[in-house]
Structure 1
């Protein structure tokens, strides 16, 4: 259950001077080489332990349905993007702001799930001129106690790293002691790769020590005072009905930070994009086709 923090401190100003370049995949609308896109680009930001490849199918679907290009990003310390010891929402929002500048992306829609949702919210609140609208997927602008599952995942993944596994089946057998759900294990094991082409040994691509130390940061939200920062443009909050990340008692605070927000409930847990992709797609299409 989210725990509201005091609302008096302000978050530090954003700067792109120390931001990292982010890896990405660009999904173009069908026939975009001969026709103009129907709207500005969409940025898709994944959650903790995710990557751009997790959102590949839904990104292609949105590009097709909306005739808008979709950039699926790897946030810092994930996928093919650089690693850095600083892992918090202001730093990740700064990375995204740098990406927008480097790729000349003007006023995009920013969609984020979980960690990506708080990154999108931070960017919108700190630099509203950079963003057209946002879609937050199963997270809220509050300080919360992060689920203990994530700490367990880090321990299990470290055990796999130390075991010198050469097959994903062996890694999965270890991870079963930490997570009973096969889809979640498959999601986490998607981070395995072979760093040495001459060795069959598999390791995790994500820096487990950095992310393990940053779990508290992932529960926090850097902007505390809705009287100091507010996003006056459209915002959609999609929450899973079987998830506790966006409880009813945080809705008033969402409204203070995002006064033009809408709420859509999807029958799913926290991983709602993969659990109920069609309901998620329909909610996104309805919002982006009729944002006001």
Structure 2
């Protein structure tokens, strides 16, 4: 769940689309060489296994589900169980770096998050996985697919696009509110909610953020946010970026499903040509929902994913 990232059809974006996002010939080389120096972290995960598997084990054609900013694997628990059931495949719901129970690291950008997922695939011996990512997780999936296409069978990118976009963001305010909660020595969820209400009117968003509260030690009464707030605050300026600029130099030639919310502004019509340039075998599905379409319209999301991933006769 990545709140407030809105790709606007600016003159720069229109020019990028019309010009095919031309970039320096050295762009791809710089990106790949920098990726080789990335220090990865081991990702914590939940494995959801189907009652009637259609694959021999959890390493064969698994699905990896990735959350958005300020989210965690528990946000995807329900949909992961449903996809495991309907597709007969094992589903790994992961916590990306600096989220949930995964380790914290000073670097937080898409190349780093993609490197973590790539290492996760290698360490667990996963073969031909499907990547499903929402918002920040969607850009992570796209980045890994373009960077290491041999590791990935296909992707499902949920309400985000392979572009650099301006952040029209409430993130900084949310982080300020969460820091205030941390300083308050609160012991009650209701007290933390009262503090956050100064920073966000929507109860839905507040409850989402409060899902990151925890007691850092057994027996502790005070609750704090498990997120590394200073690290994420520094990363905000980069989370609207996309590391690949030139689809003439790098493409993902395997199937890709892009799902967007009809009431969301994250994937405007203007960026569809760019999606096709980076992901020439893409399918676009519109779901009657806003940005949080997995929770807003889970049945439509489920149908789109199952239709995309079901074996074709």
Does the alignment reach a TM-score above 0.5?
Answer: yes
| 1:119 matches 2:140 | yes
1:157 to 1:291, Cα distance in 2 relative to 1, 3 A: farther
Name the stretch that deviates more: 199-208 or 9-18: 9-18
Gaps of 5+ in 1: none
| 1:8 matches 2:23 | yes
1:1-40 correspondence runs (5 A)? 1-2=6-7, 4=13, 7-9=22-24, 10-11=27-28, 12-13=31-32, 14-15=35-36, 18-32=39-53, 36=56, 40=61
**CA shift digits 1:248-281 (9 cap, x unpaired):** 1000000000001111111111111111111111
TM-score by length of structure 1 reads 0.95
Gaps of 5+ in 2: 1-5
SS in 2 for 1:75: coil
CA distance in 1, matches of 2:145, 2:183: 40
2:65 pairs, out of 29, 37, 44, with: 44
2:280 pairs, out of 259, 275, 286, with: 259
1:132 to 1:202, Cα distance in 2 relative to 1, 3 A: same
Q: Find the counterpart in structure 2 of residue 97 from structure 1.
A: 118
1:221 to 1:291, Cα distance in 2 relative to 1, 3 A: farther
**1:196 CA displacement:** 2.5
1:26-175 correspondence runs (5 A)? 26-32=47-53, 36=56, 40-175=61-196
**1:7 CA displacement:** 3.9
**1:22 CA displacement:** 0.6
CA distance in 2, matches of 1:128, 1:268: 30
TM-score by length of structure 2 reads 0.89
| 1:272 matches 2:293 | yes
CA distance in 2, matches of 1:130, 1:16: 18
**1:147 CA displacement:** 3.0
CA distance in 1, matches of 2:233, 2:225: 13
* 8 A contact 2:262–2:288 mirrored in 1: yes
Q: CA RMSD in A?
A: 1.9
1:279 to 1:106, Cα distance in 2 relative to 1, 3 A: same
Q: Which runs of 4+ in 1 moved over 6 A?
A: none
**1:106 CA displacement:** 1.1
**CA shift digits 1:55-104 (9 cap, x unpaired):** 00100000000000000000000011110010000000000010001000
Q: Find the counterpart in structure 2 of residue 245 from structure 1.
A: 266
Q: Find the counterpart in structure 2 of residue 216 from structure 1.
A: 237
| 1:188 matches 2:188 | no
**1:35 CA displacement:** 7.1
SS in 2 for 1:134: strand
1:204 pairs, out of 212, 225, 230, with: 225
Number of equivalences = 291
**1:146 CA displacement:** 2.0
Name the stretch that deviates more: 203-212 or 140-149: 140-149
CA distance in 1, matches of 2:75, 2:83: 14
